[in-house]
Amino acid sequence: MFVKTARCSLLWLLCLLGAFRLADAADATLPPLDAAYVDVDPAAQRVASLDAEDATARSALEALLRREPRNALARLQSAQLQLDRGLRARVARELDSAERFSEAGSELRRRVHFNAGWILFRMGDFEGARAQWTQAWRQHGGHPEWVPLAFALTLWNQGDREGGLAYFRTELAARPAAWATPEALQTRTRDLSASERFALQSMRQAVVEAR
């Protein structure tokens, strides 16, 4: 009985150590918090959103995709449009096409990952968004300026408030003037939705109250 109990305890300990290793590995995939994220990233450009109610714009995009089915940016636009129209099942297909039609390691591929992250984030797929942004960050090879806000938002929305605040503090350290006034804040968050700005304002308030 003692041998059986000891064996079970050993197995439990090995499983526990394995879980810790997996957790450490997951944490290691995130961008470091102690970096200065000030590098310009030319791939960090959002594709233009089309009005989901504009039949003319939809027809023009559909015609473009018929002429250029391998146009990765048009595929991203189509993914965003499908999301705005509530056709969520089609989004993943368009994002997959955008990735396949962009060369691995290229600036275009990085732009695909950057945009796919935002599209998945707005779908509520925060884990998928984080995976896309992680790929965009790794392919950049430096410290692109968009990283802190993106990871702050996705971690915050996943319920990891401390993780979100940690990235927000990294953002504040890199660009304190961007958060000093309401006008500066509006400029920094001009591409974000009202709910995303509210989340960032909540993080800013939490940081201020913790001082």
The 3-state DSSP class for residue 144 equals: strand
How far is residue 211's CA from residue 205's CA, in Å, rounded to a whole number? Answer: 10
Residues 159 and 194 in one domain: yes
Amino acid identity at 99: E
Q: Domain span at residue 178?
A: 146-211
Residue 155's pLDDT band (cuts 50, 70, 90): very high
The 3-state DSSP class for residue 168 equals: helix
Residues 47 and 141 in one domain: yes
Q: How confident is the model at residue 69, as a pLDDT?
A: 97
Residues 160, 30 contacting (CB under 8 angstroms) = no
Residues 52 and 73 in one domain: yes
Q: What is the pLDDT of residues 47-70, one digit of tens each?
A: 999 999 999 999 999 999 999 999
Residues 55 and 125 in one domain: yes
Percent of the chain with pLDDT over 90: 83
